[in-house]
Amino acid sequence: MAERERSRTPPFGGVFVAHARVMTADDMGRAILRMAHEIIERNHGLDGVVVVGLQTGGVPVAERLVEALEDIEGLRPPLGYLDVALYRDDIGIRPVVPEAATDLPADIDNSLIVLVDDVLFTGRTIRAAMDAVCDYGRPRSVQLAVMIDRGHRELPIRPDYVGKNLPTRRDEVVDVHPLGVDLGSVEK
Amino acid sequence: MSTAVTTWRHLLGIDGMSRGDIEGILDLTDTFAEVGRRSIPKVPALRGRTVASLFFEDSTRTRMSFETAAKRLSADIMTFTAGSSSLSKGESLRDTVEVIGSYGADAIVVRHAMAGTAHRLADWTDACVINAGDGCHEHPTQALLDCYTLRERRGDLDGMRIGIVGDIRNSRVARSNILAFSLLGAEVVLVAPPTLLPPSIDGWPVTVSHDLDAVLPGLDACYLLRMQRERINEGLVPSLREYATDYGMDARRGGLLAADAVILHPGPTNPGVELTTEVATDPRSVILDQVSNGVSVRMAVLFMLLGSGMDLAPDQSGADQGVDG
């Protein structure tokens, strides 16, 4: 995902150089487990909960979250995938290409949607995701889980479940991958 | 999903496209097919963009499917109808295009009886030009939707043997499809009477046959072209009935085709000429799938040209610039 972001946003391309490992794989595993407990606590179980991973960076996080929820509660909540490319507000400003088709459970009316993304930054992706979800039905509530909240919000959006709050500079880049989370920059 | 897609300004023809370009559009089409399956089949992707449809020739499905595609993407549509325009006052094509451009059209979908019209338009306007059929030259979105339909049925066109039957000589659908099918790795067989073949097919990646019965058993897909009645007046075939006898798809010929073969037709069909009603409703016939896939493919094309912002990024791949050079 980070790869795609780099190739399609100024300065177009470049190489991601990691400066610091801010979370290890173990840290991520613990954060996932904690967020899973928080989701169950907040919703009094998993009744009606649908986990929705945002294409493409949110998908592996959402999959791990579903695993964790199943381990704790013994039942597996439905998992959906959402591509928000067609709902973005920067179409025509920035290259936008759908990455993979949306695949949500058939009926999301009255469900408790937990949107999952890897990094929360300006909040614009989440704004687009909420618009997209509302085109499919009317969930009872929409909650947001992110592995990293890096700040710099441009919209009044806040996460309900956070893996780690990470203060960053705007020009820094956060890369979430299976081995951990790196903070770095894109070098031309 | 392929990301190394050529940077496009216009869609003028399959000629000049690479296999990766076509596969990129077909991959993108999956996303828009999903939109079409929703209870509210509309996304805000092209809000505020305007698509002008400029049809100098009659069309039902191409025009309606472009307009449906644009509406599903929330674009606005301007419709130009040759009959009720200032063409009757002697307005030139260039004037028409410049006027449409000054109303702020972001894309112009054009069909015209003259080959090369779309290419001319591309020189005259800042809008993206999409060729919806120019004379006997090309009809690229038809080829793309046919490839998508075949891929949906068969998984992959690579190694398929596809017969194209009928009026190859006058068919832009045939030209675009021959190019697209062979780019995707299929083997193309043209089946037609000698009078309906182009004067020369040198350099075309095809083989030719005049005997449909002999070709049918080896085909994975059979593409029936529309037989136009004008051809009778031109003396190219003695009668529609004789054409139907030699090249029409009926139940007997359907029996010669493999059980997993695919029957396609670009529409509108002449029942009893290119194919019988029985064949049109055969489970192997995908004619209605072609129509619904047409909308998804055209959404992908409109989005690619107007919404993806591919033109905003500098050419990173070093790939060729496509057909608009």
pLDDT band at A26, cuts 50/70/90?
Answer: very high
What superfamily does domain B140-289 belong to in CATH?
Aspartate/ornithine carbamoyltransferase (3.40.50.1370)
CB contact under 8 A, B307 and A92: yes
Distance CA B2, CA B184 (A): 14
Question: Which of A87, A95, A135 minimises the CB distance to B313?
Answer: A95
pLDDT of residue A187: 83
pLDDT of residue A16: 86
Beta-ladder partners of B88? none
Q: Do domains B19-139+290-316 and B140-289 have the same CATH topology?
A: yes
Instruction: Average the pLDDT over A13-31 and give the result.
Output: 91
Q: What is the rounded end-to-end Cα distance, in angstroms, of chain A?
A: 18
Is residue A17 included in any domain, yes or no?
Answer: no
Distance CA B261, CA B276 (A): 17
- Between the alpha carbon of residue B312 and those of residues A90, B50, B142, B321, the distances in Å are 12, 19, 27, 14
| pLDDT tens-place string over residues A72-91 | 999 999 999 999 989 988 87
DSSP state of A83: -
Identify which of B104, B95, B123 has the alpha carbon closest to the alpha carbon of residue B48: B104
Query: Looking at the predicted structure, is the pLDDT value of residue B6 above 90?
Result: no
Beta-ladder partners of B209? B191
Q: CA A178: distance to chain centroid? A: 14
* For residue A77, cis peptide bond before it (omega within 30 degrees of 0): no
Instruction: Average the pLDDT over B190-196 and give the result.
Output: 94
Q: What is the ipTM of this complex?
A: 0.80
Q: Which residue has the higher pLDDT, A9 or B3?
A: A9
Answer for the pair B222, B261: CB distance below 8 angstroms, yes or no.
yes
pLDDT band at A64, cuts 50/70/90?
Answer: very high
pLDDT band at A11, cuts 50/70/90?
Answer: low
Overall number of domains in chain A: 1
In the numeric block, which tokens belong to residue B73? Answer: 């993407």
| pLDDT tens-place string over residues B92-110 | 899 999 989 899 999 999 9
Beta-carbon pairs below 8 A across chains A and B: 68
CB atoms within 10 A of CB A4: 15
Query: Looking at the predicted structure, is the pLDDT value of residue B149 above 70?
Result: yes
| pLDDT tens-place string over residues A157-178 | 999 999 999 999 999 999 999 9
pTM: 0.88
Instruction: Average the pLDDT over B265-285 and give the result.
Output: 94
Residue A51: give the domain boundaries.
23-174
Instruction: Average the pLDDT over B68-92 and give the result.
Output: 86
- Between the alpha carbon of residue B175 and those of residues B13, B70, B225, B245, B296, the distances in Å are 10, 26, 11, 25, 22
The values of phi and psi at residue B118, to 5°, are: -60, -40
In the numeric block, which tokens belong to residue B322? Answer: 């496509």
Nearest residue on chain B to A10, judged by CA atoms? B313
- A104-108, B73-77, B170-174, B193-197: least confidently modelled range: A104-108
Distance CA B211, CA A114 (A): 61
Residue A140 neighbours by CB under 8 Å, 6+ apart: A48, A110, A111, A112
Identify which of B266, B260, B273 has the alpha carbon closest to the alpha carbon of residue B288: B266
Q: Token pair 């094309």 is at which residue?
A: B301
Answer for the pair A105, A135: CB distance below 8 angstroms, yes or no.
no
Instruction: Average the pLDDT over B137-142 and give the result.
Output: 96
Residue B10 neighbours by CB under 8 Å, 6+ apart: B118, B122, B128, B129, B130, B131, B305, B323, B324
Question: Which of A4, A95, A101 minimises the CB distance to B30?
Answer: A101
The values of phi and psi at residue B308, to 5°, are: -75, -20
Residue B206 neighbours by CB under 8 Å, 6+ apart: B178, B182, B188, B189, B190
B19-139+290-316: which CATH number, 3.40.50.10420, 3.50.50.60, 3.40.50.1370, 1.10.1070.11?
Answer: 3.40.50.1370
Is residue A186 included in any domain, yes or no?
Answer: no
Identify which of A3, A5, A33 has the alpha carbon closest to the alpha carbon of residue A121: A5
Instruction: Average the pLDDT over B252-272 and give the result.
Output: 94
Instruction: Average the pLDDT over B20-24 and give the result.
Output: 93
pLDDT band at A188, cuts 50/70/90?
Answer: confident
The values of phi and psi at residue A108, to 5°, are: -110, 5
Reduce the DSSP state of residue B136 to 3 states and report it.
coil
Query: Looking at the predicted structure, is the pLDDT value of residue A1 above 60?
Result: no
| Apex A89 CA angle, A85 and A92, nearest 5 | 80
The values of phi and psi at residue B240, to 5°, are: -60, -35
Chosen from A15, A97, A102, A108 to mutate, greatest number of chain B CBs within 10 A: A97
pLDDT of residue A12: 60
Query: Looking at the predicted structure, is the pLDDT value of residue B128 above 90?
Result: yes
Q: Chain B closest CA to A75's CA: distance in Å?
A: 28
**Residue A55's domain is classified under what CATH number?**
3.40.50.2020
Identify which of B139, B102, B101, B99 has the alpha carbon closest to the alpha carbon of residue B118: B139
Q: Chain A closest CA to B34's CA: distance in Å?
A: 7
pLDDT band at B7, cuts 50/70/90?
Answer: low
Query: Looking at the predicted structure, is the pLDDT value of residue A107 above 60?
Result: yes
Q: CA B43: distance to chain centroid? A: 24
In the numeric block, which tokens belong to residue B314? Answer: 């500098």
- % of chain B residues with pLDDT over 70: 93
- In whole numbers, what is the pLDDT of chain B averaged over residues? 89
Instruction: Average the pLDDT over B286-312 and give the result.
Output: 89
pLDDT of residue B81: 80
One-letter amino acid identity for A4?
A: R
In the numeric block, which tokens belong to residue B83? Answer: 């009959």
Answer for the pair B94, B54: CB distance below 8 angstroms, yes or no.
no
B1 contacts in A (CB within 8 Å)? 99-100
Query: Looking at the predicted structure, is the pLDDT value of residue A147 above 80?
Result: yes
Query: Looking at the predicted structure, is the pLDDT value of residue B5 above 70?
Result: no
Answer for the pair B263, B222: CB distance below 8 angstroms, yes or no.
yes
pLDDT band at B323, cuts 50/70/90?
Answer: very low
Domain boundaries, chain B: 19-139+290-316, 140-289
B33 contacts in A (CB within 8 Å)? 101
In the numeric block, which tokens belong to residue B197? Answer: 């073949």
Q: How many residues does chain A have?
A: 188
Is residue A158 included in any domain, yes or no?
Answer: yes
CB atoms within 10 A of CB A117: 28
Instruction: Average the pLDDT over B274-289 and give the result.
Output: 95
Q: Chain B closest CA to A8's CA: distance in Å?
A: 7
| pLDDT tens-place string over residues B220-259 | 999 999 997 777 778 888 888 999 999 999 999 999 999 9
Query: Looking at the predicted structure, is the pLDDT value of residue B289 above 60?
Result: yes
Nearest residue on chain B to A105, judged by CA atoms? B38
Instruction: Average the pLDDT over A95-114 and give the result.
Output: 86
* HEC assignment per residue over B34-93: HHHCCCCCCCCCCCCCEEEEEECCCCCHHHHHHHHHHHHCCCEEEEEEHHHCHHHHCCCH
Residue A144: burial class (beta carbons within 10 Å; 0-12, 13-18, 19+)? buried
Beta-ladder partners of B221? B162, B262
Consecutive H or E run containing B194: none
* For residue A56, cis peptide bond before it (omega within 30 degrees of 0): yes
